[in-house]
C-alpha cells in the first residue's frame, strides 16, 4: 500500500494514524475530517468544558501530525472502495489503496425541534459551545434521556446552580447495562442532588413562543417549563456516505472479528464499526476506550491484507457525575447475578461484580478506583483465557 485514507478525525481516526506509523507504514496518509477542528477529547464536553473550567485548547488529543495530510472541514460524500476512490465535498477525488472508516456517528434529535432555538444535542465541540452559551443563570433545563451523556449534563448543570429535570422513557436508567438495582442507584444520584427525575414517561411535544422552546409536554400530560432542552437519546452511525459502496451496512459498518470489512483493504473502527464478537454476534460499542483500542488490531489487519488478529474489547466505561466516579468494565448485559463485593451503595462507595452462570463477566465501581482496577485486570485475564 502506498496511500491510506482515514475518514474521520476524532479519537478513533487519530489512533489509527498513530498505529499506522507505529506499525511501520511509511507511505502517504490522508485524514479526512468533517469538523474543522484537529482531533480533540470528547468526554470533557459534558463536564469540565461545559462548566467553563476547561478551555478548548486543552481538549487537543495530540500536537503531532504524524507526517499525515490533514484535510479538515472536508466531508467524504461517497466512496468506491474497489476502485480506491473517495469523492470529497470540495469536489476533489482522493485515490487510495487502503481505507480506515472512523466516522463515528451523529446524535439522534428530538422530533419537531429542528427549527426551535434552545434545543441541543451534545457530541461535538461546536455543540458544546452552543449549549454552554445557553446555560445562563436561572435557566430551567430539561434533559431527555438518562444515559451517560444525559446524566453528565445534568450533573454539570446542577453544579452551575441551574434547575434540572431529567426525562427518561424507561422505568430504570441504564437498566440494560447495569440491571434494575444498579440502575436505580444511578437514579438516586440524581435525587441526591436535587434533580427532578421523571421515569417511565416519554415526550409528547414541545411548547414554544414561535422561535424558542418554552416547555416540554410529557405523554402523561405534564408540562415542564424549559429554557433549554438537551437530547441525550443516543446516536446513529455515520454511514450515509457509504451507501452504494458495496460495503455491508446494518447499524454501522459490518466487520469481521478483526474490524475488517468484506473488502480486505477497508477496515472500520470506533462508534461506526459493528464487528463480530467471539460469540459470533455483531456488536457495536460507543465509548472512548473502544475508539482508542480498536485501531491497534484494525491497522494490523489492514497492513497484513487479511485478519490475523481478533479484537478483544475491554468494555471499559467511566462517567463522572455529581462528584462521583462510576467505572464499568466487561459485558454486563444479561448477567444473572450482581453482588456487592466491597463497600456499600448507601455510602456511594462500592464495587459490584456481575456474573453469568457463575462466571464473572463485569465489574462496576463507584468511588473505588483501586479495587476496580484490580478486578478489571482479573476480568480481562479471565476473559482472555476462555
DSSP string, 37-78: SPPB-SGGGGTHHHHTSS-GGGGBS-S--TT-EEEET--EEE
CA–CA separation, 238 and 268 (whole Å): 12
Q: What total of structural domains would you count in the chain?
A: 3
Q: Look up the pTM and report it.
A: 0.93
Q: Do 142 and 213 lie in a common domain? A: yes
CA–CA separation, 354 and 331 (whole Å): 9
Assess whether pLDDT exceeds 90 at residue 213: yes
For residues 54-64, give the mean pLDDT: 96
Tell me which of 182, 204, 231 is where a domain ends. 231
Handedness of CA 224, 227, 233, 236 (dihedral sign): positive
167 near 159, Cβ under 8 Å?
no
Q: Do 218 and 185 lie in a common domain? A: yes
Select from 101, 118, 120 the least CA-distant residue to 109.
120
Domain presence at residue 89: yes
Q: Do 209 and 279 lie in a common domain? A: no
Q: Do 298 and 212 lie in a common domain? A: no
C-alpha cell at 24: 511501520
Q: Do 213 and 292 lie in a common domain? A: no
- List pLDDT tens digits, range 338-356: 999 999 999 999 999 999 8
Question: The domain spanning residue 204 has which CATH number?
Answer: 3.50.50.60
317 near 327, Cβ under 8 Å?
yes
C-alpha cell at 222: 405534564
For residues 155-169, give the mean pLDDT: 97
C-alpha cell at 160: 452551575
Which DSSP state fits 38?
P
Boundaries of domain holding 27: 3-105+236-304
Tell me which of 210, 231, 252 is where a domain ends. 231
Q: Do 96 and 152 lie in a common domain? A: no
Q: Do 75 and 101 lie in a common domain? A: yes
Binned at pLDDT 50, 70 and 90, residue 332 comes out as confident
pLDDT of residue 385: 46
- List pLDDT tens digits, range 357-386: 888 889 999 999 999 999 988 886 655 444
User: How big is the CA angle at 109 (ends 50 and 121), to the nearest 5 degrees?
Assistant: 5
Amino acid at each position: 500500500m502506498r496511500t491510506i485514507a482515514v475518514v474521520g478525525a476524532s479519537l478513533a481516526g487519530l489512533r489509527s494514524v498513530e498505529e499506522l506509523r507505529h506499525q511501520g507504514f511509511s507511505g502517504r496518509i490522508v485524514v479526512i475530517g468533517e469538523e474543522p477542528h484537529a482531533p480533540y477529547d470528547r468526554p470533557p464536553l459534558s463536564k469540565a468544558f461545559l462548566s467553563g473550567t476547561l478551555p478548548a485548547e486543552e481538549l487537543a488529543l495530540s500536537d503531532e501530525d504524524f507526517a499525515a495530510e490533514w484535510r479538515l472541514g472536508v466531508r467524504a460524500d461517497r466512496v468506491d472502495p474497489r476502485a480506491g476512490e473517495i469523492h470529497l465535498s470540495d469536489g476533489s477525488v482522493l485515490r487510495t489503496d487502503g481505507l480506515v472508516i472512523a466516522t463515528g456517528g451523529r446524535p439522534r434529535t428530538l422530533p419537531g425541534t429542528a427549527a426551535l432555538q434552545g434545543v441541543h444535542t451534545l457530541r461535538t465541540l461546536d455543540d458544546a459551545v452552543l449549549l454552554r452559551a445557553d446555560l445562563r443563570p436561572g435557566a430551567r433545563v430539561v434533559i431527555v434521556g438518562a444515559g451517560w451523556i444525559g446524566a453528565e449534563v445534568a450533573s454539570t448543570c446542577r453544579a452551575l446552580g441551574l434547575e434540572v429535570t431529567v426525562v427518561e422513557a424507561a422505568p430504570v436508567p441504564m437498566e440494560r447495562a447495569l440491571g434494575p438495582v444498579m440502575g436505580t442507584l444511578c437514579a438516586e444520584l440524581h435525587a441526591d442532588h436535587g434533580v427532578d427525575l421523571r421515569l417511565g414517561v416519554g415526550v409528547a411535544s414541545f411548547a414554544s413562543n414561535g422561535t424558542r422552546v418554552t416547555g416540554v409536554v410529557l405523554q402523561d400530560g405534564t408540562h415542564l417549563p424549559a429554557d433549554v432542552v438537551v437530547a441525550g437519546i443516543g446516536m446513529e452511525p455515520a454511514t450515509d456516505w457509504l451507501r452504494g459502496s458495496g460495503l455491508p451496512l446494518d447499524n454501522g459498518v459490518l466487520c469481521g472479528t478483526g474490524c475488517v470489512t468484506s473488502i480486505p483493504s477497508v477496515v472500520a473502527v470506533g462508534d461506526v464499526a459493528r464487528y463480530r464478537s467471539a460469540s459470533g454476534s455483531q456488536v457495536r460499542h460507543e465509548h472512548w476506550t473502544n475508539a482508542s483500542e480498536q485501531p491497534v488490531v484494525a491497522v494490523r489487519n489492514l497492513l497484513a491484507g487479511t485478519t490475523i488478529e481478533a479484537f478483544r474489547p475491554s468494555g471499559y466505561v467511566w462517567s463522572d457525575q455529581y462528584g462521583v466516579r462510576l467505572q464499568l468494565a466487561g459485558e454486563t448485559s444479561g448477567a444473572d447475578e450482581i453482588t456487592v463485593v466491597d463497600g456499600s451503595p448507601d455510602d456511594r462507595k462500592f464495587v459490584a461484580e456481575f456474573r453469568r452462570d457463575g462466571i464473572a463477566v463485569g465489574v462496576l465501581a463507584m468511588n473505588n478506583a483501586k479495587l476496580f482496577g484490580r478486578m478489571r485486570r482479573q476480568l480481562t485475564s479471565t476473559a482472555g483465557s476462555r
